[in-house]
């Protein structure tokens, strides 16, 4: 049993798809669909996909739904 599963992921700027599953709850398949549709911000070098934590946070903020009271 790895200790890394019990500790929060250190605040790396660049996240792997697996990191995004753990931190944001977006499955690998959904990430792929969103990338193909141009819905989620990401960087790609050859076959390596990374997500910028700052841009993901901004993306979530942009899509926030305001609750009417």
Using alpha carbons only, give the angle 39, 20, 31 rounded to the nearest 5 degrees. Answer: 35
The reported pLDDT for the residue numbered 1 is: 45
Stated pTM of the model: 0.76
The reported pLDDT for the residue numbered 6 is: 52
Choose among 14, 6, 11: nearest CA to 50: 14
The reported pLDDT for the residue numbered 66 is: 87
- In order along its 69 residues, the chain shows pLDDT tens digits of 444 455 555 678 999 999 999 999 999 999 999 999 999 999 999 999 999 999 999 999 998 998 888
């Amino acid at each position: 049993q790895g200790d890394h599963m019990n500790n929060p992921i250190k605040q790396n700027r660049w996240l792997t798809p697996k990191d995004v599953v753990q931190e944001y709850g977006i499955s690998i398949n959904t990430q792929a669909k969103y990338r193909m549709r141009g819905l989620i911000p990401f960087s790609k070098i050859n076959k390596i996909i990374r997500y910028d934590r700052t841009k993901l946070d901004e993306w979530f903020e942009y899509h926030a739904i305001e609750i009417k009271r």
